[in-house]
Chain A
């Protein structure tokens, strides 16, 4: 085990917190404070998604992002997927994906060209995995076109592989995970609708919505099938969609995907959000064979039995019972849904019980996270919002919506979520049409920061300058499924969640806010083969690094 100790605040954080706090936090009962520092961090380049008027559905989806340490220097770097800018029926700009190295001093340096990842296809999403077992994070980009796998060469550069596993067309979410316990990482790809570039370029807004003409879809457009590729262990992948049981039986419109152990049997199951259709929940039997159990698990529909417009998702163990709960972000004028995991693949819609109905009803929601943002030991929620129709700005007042929307910050107060968006600093006052969201400790001060991708605009980098309600631990333990800490008589559990959010990747380390404590009495790490690592009497506010 290697222990890296990073204590408390940086001087910069303290100064900014003090300044921001005087304006936004005084008299406020929100302990959370976020400041958008994208511009000063060098993240000024926009990511594109079609035309201003968005006549085709492809132009509504935005792009994802990834926070991961590509050069293994201990801090989180940023990959931003980019789309195209269109002008009428012409391609005005083929947006190049953007890769930024975290310089560790609050600045991100554009290393796209040097790293060799500046592809200019119309990008949609991203996944991070280790496809060749060299312990270096490889990069996978989903596109409207052919997807690309980049292998990390360990010298700060990537090599685009000639033969990729790919969905031809509009692929969206992607995850690498070892489905069959053979030691290598397989790939699941979600796809949305079947469309051609010609259809996109010549699309017209013909659907009548709130008295306005807007883009058509997804109904009226053919779905495109999700695919699963098995890693053969020698750098090649084979399509094993049908034999694995990961078929997209309904050709539903899929967006976010996450691999996670939902029944505690130490293999990774799969959850897929579907727009306007029931979400998929695939149960892994431990050998890489899956059974779709969404409809009868209770996690595919809301409590009324309705299919919703699943966009993004988050997962976390809200009540520390050892079972991962699910939060699915949905469309405007429909609530985002929280599914409590009752065990044995039974889920209960507890949206109302948790106080989420009112706050999530009007936003059109995408990327999201369940993370402890104030370090008090429970999980809070942040949701990226933005409408798909630019015409929403001309909609009747009764629509209560707009294309650009503020993001939503929901503070966990005793098991109910309180909307503190308006009281949590200038970062939450940013109004954009947001899509992807990734979480990680970007400045190394122990609390979680966020990056949000925005349609036709630069990203928002939300530095967490919140009032601290406790200590923290960051645990790097590759492949571990679960980290359990005991503090006195209390227990906190964090699970491995791969993917989730919306076509984006968050830092894969376990982050634990601990509440007010100086010491953790016990830490237990669990791996898929059942092996455990147990440590006792651990000092807090530090990064712990484990190998198997």
Chain B
């Protein structure tokens, strides 16, 4: 992908070279404009992708909770809190190593974990607490309370609030 984009840009620049004078050739500007759209769309696509992943974990948690598989539900809740499992964490690490921070400003302010896209630190803590509470719950009242705590945090995150 990276190589293809680089070659495309190079090709456009080479084509435009004979006309280069006092201004940047229109074709170059157009190519950069197209690239900008891709870059900005990619960011939006990343956000949507992570929301879809989280939606999957939230949905999985709900189904398992309703089936009485509380360990499974708690695991899904923890995966939601961590924006996916360790394999997702590995991808996140790669992005960070490559210099990509989705919420750089939020990370500096301590709002987001490095590389996290949707789940804030505060939300993560609450979600993990709900997951742990569900696993330790001794009766249905405690289980429902843990689930409610989870659902309350999840809803605005998935809605983009």
A222 contacts which of B75, B79, B97 (Cβ < 8 Å)?
A: B97
B100 interface hit (Cβ, 8 Å): no
Going nearest first, the 10 A-B pairs with the smallest beta carbon separation are A296-B78, A250-B90, A249-B86, A249-B87, A250-B86, A250-B89, A296-B75, A305-B124, A305-B125, A295-B78
- Cβ contact within 8 Å between A344 and B86: no
Contact of A296 with B79 at beta-carbon distance under 8 Å, contacts A220-B97, A221-B97, A249-B85 already known: yes
Asked if A17 lies at the interface with its beta carbon under 8 angstroms from chain B, I say: no
CB-CB < 8 A to B125: which residues of A?
304-305
A 503-543 contacts with B by CB, 8 A:
none
The CA-CA distance from A295 to B78 in the complex, in Å, is 6
B residues lining the A interface (CB < 8 Å): 74-75, 77-79, 81-82, 85-87, 89-90, 93, 96-97, 113, 121, 124-125, 128, 131-132, 135-136
How far apart sit A293 and B71, CA to CA, in the bound complex (Å)? 11
- A295 contact set on B, CB distance < 8 A: 75, 78-79, 81-82, 85-86
CB-nearest residue of chain A relative to B96? Answer: A219
The CA-CA distance from A346 to B129 in the complex, in Å, is: 12
Contacts A278-B86, A301-B128, A304-B125: A223 and B78 contacting too (C-beta < 8 A)? no
Q: 7 A-B pairs, CB-CB below 8 angstroms?
A: A220-B97, A249-B87, A250-B90, A250-B93, A252-B93, A295-B75, A348-B132
B136 engages A342 (CB within 8 Å): yes
Name A's B-contacting residues (CB within 8 A).
219-223, 249-252, 277-278, 280, 292-296, 298, 301, 304-307, 342, 344, 346, 348
Q: Across the interface, do B132 and A252 meet the contact criterion of CB distance under 8 Å? A: no
Chain B residues with CB under 8 A of A251: 90, 93
| Whole-angstrom distance between the Cβ of A463 and the nearest chain B Cβ | 42
Interface of chain A: mostly helix, strand, loop or mixed: loop
- Asked if A305 meets B81 with Cβ closer than 8 Å, knowing A222-B97, A250-B93, A251-B93, the reply is yes
Q: How far is the CB of B126 from chain A (nearest CB, A)?
A: 9
Q: How far is the CA of A222 from the CA of B90 in the complex (A)?
A: 10
Given contacts A295-B79, A296-B74, A305-B125, contact A277 B132 (CB under 8 A): no
Residue contact B124 to A296, C-beta cutoff 8 Å: no
Residue of B nearest to A250 (CB): B90
User: B89 near A298 (CB under 8 angstroms)?
Assistant: no
> Please, which residues of chain B bring their CB within 8 A of the CB of A306?
113, 121
Nearest CB of chain A from residue B96's CB, rounded to whole Å: 6
Asked if residues A252 and B86 are in contact (CB atoms below 8 Å), the reply is yes
> Closest approach, in angstroms, between the C-beta of B66 and any C-beta of chain A?
18
* Chain B residues with CB under 8 A of A307: 113
Q: Which chain B residues border A250 with CB–CB below 8 Å?
A: 86-87, 89-90, 93
Residues of B within 8 A of A223 (CB): 90, 93
Tell me the minimal C-beta distance from A208 to chain B in angstroms: 15
Which B residues touch A344, using CB under 8 A? 135
Q: Give bound CA distance, A220 to B90, whole Å.
A: 13
User: Which residue of chain B has its CB nearest to the CB of A304?
Assistant: B125
Q: Are the C-beta atoms of A346 and B136 separated by less than 8 Å? A: yes
> Does A277 contact B85, Cβ atoms closer than 8 Å?
no
Chain A residues with CB below 8 A from B74, complex form: 296
Interface of B: prevailing SS: helix
Contact B132 A298 (CB under 8 A): yes
Closest Cβ–Cβ distance, residue B69 to chain A (whole Å) = 13
Give Cα A249–Cα B89 distance, bound, in whole angstroms. 8
Among A221, A223, A295, A301, chain B packs the most CB atoms within 10 A around the CB of A295
Contacts of B113 in A (CB 8 A): 306-307
Q: A304-B125, A346-B135 are in contact. Are A293 and B90 (CB under 8 A)?
A: no
Q: Give the residues in chain B near A222, CB-CB below 8 Å.
A: 97
Give the shortest distance, in Å, between B100 (CB) and chain A (any CB). Answer: 12
**Given known A296-B79, A305-B81, contact A346–B97 (CB-CB < 8 A):** no
- Chain A hits for B79, CB < 8 A: 295-296
**List of A residues within 8 angstroms of B87 by Cβ:** 249-250
Tell me the nearest residue of chain A to B125, going by C-beta: A305
User: How far is A348 from B135 in the complex, measured between Cα atoms in Å?
Assistant: 12
Given contacts A250-B87, A293-B75, A305-B125, contact A278 B82 (CB under 8 A): yes
- Expressed in whole angstroms, the Cα–Cα distance for A119 and B106 within the complex equals 49
**Residue from A219, A280, A294, A346 within 8 A of B132 (CB atoms):** A346
Given A220-B97, A304-B125, A305-B125, verify A292-B86 contact (CB < 8 Å).
yes
A252-B90 in contact given A305-B128, A346-B135 (Cβ < 8 Å) = yes
CB distance from A347 to the nearest CB of B (A): 9
A306 vs B90: C-alpha distance when bound (angstroms): 16
Which residues of the partner chain B approach A280 to less than 8 Å between Cβ atoms?
A: 86
A186 to nearest B CB, angstroms?
22
**Beyond A252-B89, A301-B128, A346-B132, is A296–B97 a contact (Cβ under 8 Å)?**
no
Q: Which of B79, B86, B131 has the most CB of A within 10 A?
A: B86
- What distance in Å separates the Cβ of A222 from its nearest Cβ neighbour in chain B? 7
Residue of B nearest to A225 (CB): B90
Q: A296 to B131, Cβ gap below 8 A?
A: yes
Q: Which of A249, A346, A348 contacts B90 (CB 8 A)?
A: A249
Determine the chain B residues whose CB is within 8 A of the CB of A348 once the complex forms.
132
Q: From B114, which residue of chain A is reached at the shortest CB distance?
A: A219
Q: How many angstroms from the CA of A250 to the CA of B75 in the assembled complex?
A: 18
A304 proximity list for chain B (CB < 8 A): 121, 125
Minimum CB distance partner of B134 in chain A: A296
Chain B residues whose C-beta falls within 8 Å of the C-beta of A252 in the assembled complex: 86, 89-90, 93
How distant is A300 from chain B, measured CB to nearest CB, in Å? Answer: 9
B121 nearest CB across to chain A (Å): 7
Chain B nearest CB: distance from A284 CB in Å?
16
Chain A: CB-nearest residue to B135: A346
Complex interface: chain B residues within 8 A of A296 (CB): 74-75, 77-79, 131, 135
